[in-house]
Amino acid sequence: MKPANTTMAALGTTVFEVMSRLAIEHGSINLGQGFPDEDGPADVRRVAADALMDGPNQYPPMAGLPELRRAIAAHARRFYGLDYDWENEIVVTSGATEALADCLLGLLDPGDEVVLLEPLYDSYPPIVERSGATPRYVSLSPPDWRLPVEALEAAFGPKTRMILLNTPMNPAAKAFRRDELEAVARLCVEHDAICLCDEVYEHLLFDGLRHIPIAGLPGMRERTLRIGSAGKIFSLTGWKVGWIEGPAELMGAVAKTHQFVTFTTAPNLQKAVAHGLGKEDGYFAGLAAALQAKRDRLSAGLDRAGFGVLPSEGTYFVSADVRPLGFDGGDEAFCRTITREAGVTAVPVSAFFRRGKVDHLARFCFCKRDATLDEASGRLRAYFGG
């Protein structure tokens, strides 16, 4: 038999699935994979449930229900003053994961280079490689994960077609500052490169930080694709409803990719997300405030257990240095050990690196009930004798 595609056949199972399975096997508290343990707003779920019974239940338009595309355009205008034409500049996808694949497969050619900043979400490299393009990695370093501008400049060259940016960034929990985004924008303009910006955590920012979409910087609207996810905004990760906003010139090929990857997304969920995006400002602010309190709660618990807790400016993750606990066997072994022996699961930050050497950090997810966070902290403290 002929072998499978070399890029895909060589892949392991994603770290999120591996650690979640391990958590189930050991009955541990799963603070690994990122998902809330309480479902998002009842009114949003009610719209989905009613639409399931009342319809429509047949194929929606390929680019998404008009009411959802209008709501996505209104959301970008309301929060960032960005203007997108809902008919030609927005495509609804089955999650941000599909949106990323549509953009990468729709825009890249063999021979192109793509600048990837690590730590990174693990779907990026294989899809870049599958498109035939070559990743050029730039590593960020803890604890502040500042953009290394010189290394970034060195990664850009005549073959650079795209940079893939993620802000707020998973798992670094970092929000890129305006000066960092300006450096990225300058390089994109100089090299006529596309910026694919994964902004799924756009509403999960803490301590008064404001999300800055790079599409709003001078010269960037015409070369930026902005990706969003209802899973994060409404704490409904299993729904897998995402979207892409971008200039019509780039969206044509992206939409054609979407039409042959999934074609469309469940109409009842689209209707419900359209409703959700229209919620009052207080909903979005309340989500961030609630998560900020959970970040503080878990960070304090990890600190008491003896971890070196890193700052978390956004997302629903906090990373912690395991070396102060006397553990120097690497973060993957650490995460497996605490799953088995302390009854708490985290994911190793090294899984988000392809080139850089960071293997002393464990990433914990804090979008869980307070009692769950307290129990996890208590178990870790008991285990490490804090």
Q: Are 89 and 225 in contact (CB under 8 A)?
A: no
Judged by beta carbon distances under 5 to 8 A according to partner kind, the member of ligand PMP, ligand GLN, none in contact with residue 350 is none
Judged by beta carbon distances under 5 to 8 A according to partner kind, the member of ligand GLN, ligand PMP, none in contact with residue 16 is ligand GLN
**Tokens 């950090």, residue?**
361
- In the complex, the smallest distance separating the C-beta of residue 295 from ligand GLN, rounded to whole angstroms, is 15
At 204, list the tokens.
């999960």
By CB under 6 A, name the binding residues for ligand PMP.
34, 95-97, 121, 166, 170, 198, 200, 229, 231, 237, 240, 242
- In the complex, the smallest distance separating the C-beta of residue 295 from ligand PMP, rounded to whole angstroms, is 16
Residue 16 as a binder of ligand GLN (CB under 6 A): the answer is yes
- In the complex, the smallest distance separating the C-beta of residue 324 from ligand PMP, rounded to whole angstroms, is 27
Q: Which residues of 281-312 are buried (b: 16+ CB within 10 A; e: fewer)?
A: eebbeebbeebbebbebbbebbbebbbbbbbb
- In the complex, the smallest distance separating the C-beta of residue 118 from ligand PMP, rounded to whole angstroms, is 12
Is the Cβ of residue 160 or residue 229 nearer to ligand GLN in the bound state? Answer: 229
Closest-CB residue for ligand PMP?
Answer: 95
Residue 94 as a binder of ligand GLN (CB under 6 A): the answer is no
- In the complex, the smallest distance separating the C-beta of residue 365 from ligand GLN, rounded to whole angstroms, is 6
To the nearest 10 degrees (0 to 180), the angle between helices 95-107 and 248-261 is 120
Residue 377 as a binder of ligand GLN (CB under 6 A): the answer is no
Which amino acid does the sequence have at 357? K
Judged by beta carbon distances under 5 to 8 A according to partner kind, the member of ligand PMP, ligand GLN, none in contact with residue 145 is none
Q: Which of 160, 166, 167, 170 binds ligand GLN (CB under 6 A)?
A: 170
SS3 83: coil
Q: What is the CA radius of gyration of the chain?
A: 21
Q: Hey, which bits of 290-336 come out as E strands?
A: 308-309, 317-321
Residue 319 as a binder of ligand GLN (CB under 6 A): the answer is no
Residue 33 as a binder of ligand GLN (CB under 6 A): the answer is yes
365: β partners = 317
Q: How far apart are CA 279 and CA 277, in angstroms?
A: 6
- Of 182, 380, 349, 201, nearest to 288 (Cα)? 201
194: β partners = 162
Residue 166 as a binder of ligand GLN (CB under 6 A): the answer is no
Is the Cβ of residue 51 or residue 173 nearer to ligand PMP in the bound state? Answer: 173
- In the complex, the smallest distance separating the C-beta of residue 232 from ligand PMP, rounded to whole angstroms, is 7
Q: Mention every residue, 6+ apart, whose C-beta is less than 8 A from residue 241.
A: 92, 93, 94, 95, 229, 230, 231, 265, 266, 269, 270, 273
Is the Cβ of residue 121 or residue 206 nearer to ligand PMP in the bound state? Answer: 121
Residue 353 as a binder of ligand GLN (CB under 6 A): the answer is no
Backbone phi and psi for residue 136, each to the nearest 5 degrees, phi listed first: -120, 110
- In the complex, the smallest distance separating the C-beta of residue 153 from ligand GLN, rounded to whole angstroms, is 29
- In the complex, the smallest distance separating the C-beta of residue 178 from ligand GLN, rounded to whole angstroms, is 25
CB atoms within 10 A of CB 31: 29
Residue 80 as a binder of ligand GLN (CB under 6 A): the answer is no
The contact set with ligand GLN (CB under 6 A) reads 14, 16, 33-34, 170
